[in-house]
Amino acid sequence: MTTHPVPDGETSGPPTSSAAGTGTRLDRWLDSYAERTHGMRSSEIRALFAVANRPEVVSLAGGMPFLEGLPLDILGDLAQRVVATRGLQALQYGSGQGDETLREQILDVMALEGIDAHPDDVVVTTGSQQALDLVTRIFIDPGDVVVAEAPSYVGALGVFRAYQADVVHVPIDADGLIPAALESTLATLSREGRRVKFLYTVPNFHNPAGVSLSVERRPQILEIARRHGVLVLEDNPYGLLGFSTEPVPALRSLDDEGVLYLGSFSKTFAPGYRVGWVVAPHAVREKLVLASESAILCPSNASQIAISTYLSTCDWRGQIKSYREQYRERRDAMVSALTEHLPDASWNVPDGGFYTWVRLPDGLDAKDMLPRAVTARVAYVPGTAFYFDGSGADHMRLSFCYPTPERIREGVRRLAGVVAGERDL
Ligand code: PMP
C-alpha cells in the first residue's frame, strides 16, 4: 500500500520571516519577489508530516479518501478503453470551460442536492482548489475582506492569504454558521467601511469542524448575504457523504444569482484526476473561464473523459453509498475510541464527511504537542491551521477517512498517552 498523503494542514502554519522562507541568505532573488508572495506561508509542521507519513505513524492528519474501496480493475479497463477509442480527443487540448458532456453529467450529480442549472453555467476546474483560486483571483484586491467560518478549510485560507485578502471569521455552532453572528459581523464591517467581497462557507460536513448548516438556517444566511450585497461562495466537496441522512438542498438551489457553487469529484470518486467545478452566473462565469485559460489553458481532457466515462458506465451512486458506509464505520471507531481514551476532551459527532474536531482538555496546546505526538507515532492537524490569525491552539482535527478502524483506535490510544504526558510536563 503506497501512502503519500498531502495533509490538508501541510501548507498552514505561522508566517516565515520572508516570502522565501528559510534559507533566504542563499536566495539571489530575494528582492525580486512580488508583494503577494509575502502572504504565502511555509509550514513549520511540514517537516513533521514527512515523519508522519512513515508507515509506523498513524496519521489522523490527512484528508485522503479511502481509495481501496474503488473497483480498480474496472477503472483500469476503462482508462485503457478511453485511450484506445477516444485517445485523439483525450490527449488533445480541450475547451477552457470544460468538456460539454461532463458538464451535462455534473448537472445529474448536483440534482441530488436540488440544483437546477444549465451545462453552460458550469466551469470545470483542476479540483475545487483551482476553483477557489480562480474565484479569489477575479474578486479580491489586496485588503478586501473575505468573511469565513471560524474555523475554515486551511487550503482556502492559503488562497485568500496569497491574494492578500483579510479574512474575518464568523463563529459556528452545531448547526453551522450562526446567522446572528454573520449579521453583526457584516454590519460592523459595513460601519467600518470595509469592502466584503464574499462569504466563504462549507455548509456540509465542514472541514475541519464536521458540522452542517441546518436546513432552517440556509435561507436566513442567504437573506443576510443578499441584504449586505455579499456574494456567497459555497464549497461543497462532502455534501453527498452523509452517514444517516440524504443530501439537503444546496445554498445554490435556493439562489441562482447570489451563490457561486464549488463541487468536486475528489471525495465522491478520486482526487487523482483533479476534476472539480464551479457553477456561476453568466457574467462571473465568463471571467472565471478567462482566468482559467490564462492559468492552465484548459482542464485535462484525459481526466475529464475518464470521469465522464466512469459516470456513464459505472454505478457511481453505488460507489458513493459504499464510501458512506466505510466512512461511517470509521467515524464510529473514532468516536468510540475518543470516548474510551480521551473522555476529558470534547468533540462533535459528525454525521458525514471526513473529520472530527476535538477540543483538548485543560487548555493544552495542540500545536505545541504535535512533535511529541509524532514521536509517539500519531499525527493530526493542530487547530491553528484553520484560523487566519493562528488561534485555535486548543483544538485539533482528527481525520477518520483514511486509516482502518483498528488504526484509528490505535491512533487515538497513542494520542491519549501523549495528552496524559502533557499534563505531567
Ligand atoms: N474544499 C474543501 C473544503 C476541501 O476539504 C478540499 C480538499 N481537502 C478542497 C476544497 C479541495 O479539493 P479538490 O481540489 O481535491 O477538489
Each residue's pLDDT tens digit, 362-375: 899 999 999 999 99
Pocket mutation for ligand 1, best pick of 235, 277, 278, 402 (most atoms within 8 Å of C-beta): 235
Pocket mutation for ligand 1, best pick of 205, 261, 264 (most atoms within 8 Å of C-beta): 264
- Indicate if ligand 1 lies below 6 Å from the C-beta of 242: no
Residue 418: the pLDDT is: 97
Nearest CA to ligand 1 atom 11: 129
CA-to-CA distance for 355 and 370, rounded, in angstroms? 18
- Indicate if ligand 1 lies below 6 Å from the C-beta of 382: no
- Indicate if ligand 1 lies below 6 Å from the C-beta of 276: yes
What digits encode the pLDDT tens for the residues 46-86? 767 777 788 999 999 989 999 998 999 999 999 999 999 99
Distance 338 CA to ligand 1 centre (A): 26
CA-to-CA distance for 188 and 340, rounded, in angstroms? 44
Atom of ligand 1 lying closest to residue 153 CA: 3
- Indicate if ligand 1 lies below 6 Å from the C-beta of 353: no
Residue 39: the pLDDT is: 77
11 has pLDDT over 80: no
Residue 48: the pLDDT is: 72
Quote the crossing angle between the two packed helices 301-313 and 100-111, to the nearest 10°.
50
CA-to-CA distance for 317 and 109, rounded, in angstroms? 9
222 has pLDDT over 80: yes
Contact 273, 265 (CB under 8 A): yes
- Indicate if ligand 1 lies below 6 Å from the C-beta of 59: no
- Indicate if ligand 1 lies below 6 Å from the C-beta of 271: yes
What digits encode the pLDDT tens for the residues 125-179? 999 999 999 999 999 999 999 999 999 999 999 999 999 999 999 999 999 999 9
Residue 53: the pLDDT is: 80
Omega within 30 of 0 (cis) for the link into 151: yes
Residue 43: the pLDDT is: 62
Distance 235 CA to ligand 1 centre (A): 8
Pocket mutation for ligand 1, best pick of 10, 266, 399 (most atoms within 8 Å of C-beta): 266
> Which cell numbers in the block locate residue 329?
464505520
227 has pLDDT over 60: yes
Residue 2: the pLDDT is: 42
Q: ipTM score of the complex? A: 0.99
Its pTM stands at: 0.93
Place of cell 516570502: 19
- What number is the average pLDDT over the span 207-233? 98
CA-to-CA distance for 22 and 63, rounded, in angstroms? 27
Residue 5: the pLDDT is: 44
What digits encode the pLDDT tens for the residues 256-280? 999 999 999 999 999 999 999 999 9
What digits encode the pLDDT tens for the residues 87-100? 999 999 999 999 99
What digits encode the pLDDT tens for the residues 194-216? 999 999 999 999 999 999 999 99
CA-to-CA distance for 354 and 331, rounded, in angstroms? 8
Average pLDDT, the chain: 92
What digits encode the pLDDT tens for the residues 314-349? 999 999 999 999 999 999 999 999 999 999 999 999
Residue 130: the pLDDT is: 98
- Indicate if ligand 1 lies below 6 Å from the C-beta of 152: no
- Indicate if ligand 1 lies below 6 Å from the C-beta of 62: no
Distance 237 CA to ligand 1 centre (A): 6
Three-state SS letters, the chain: CCCCCCCCCCCCCCCCCCCCCCCHHHCCCHHHCCHHHHHCCCCCCHHHHHHHCCCCCEECCCCCCCHHHCCHHHHHHHHHHHHHHHHHHHCCCCCCCCCHHHHHHHHHHHHCCCCCCCHHHEEEECHHHHHHHHHHHHHCCCCCEEEEEECCCHHHHHHHHHCCCEEEEEEEECCEECHHHHHHHHHHHHHCCCCEEEEEECCCCCCCCCCCCCCCHHHHHHHHHHHCCCEEEEECCCCCCECCCCCCCCHHHCCCCCEEEEEECCCCCCHHHCCEEEECCHHHHHHHHHHHHHHHCCCCHHHHHHHHHHHHHCCHHHHHHHHHHHHHHHHHHHHHHHHHHCCCCEECCCCECCEEEEECHHHCCHHHHHHHHHHCCEECEEHHHHCCCCCCCCEEEEECCCCCHHHHHHHHHHHHHHHHHHHHC
Residue 69: the pLDDT is: 85
- Those residues whose C-beta lies under 8 Å from the C-beta of residue 198, and which sit 6 or more positions away, are 135, 139, 146, 147, 230, 231, 232, 233, 260
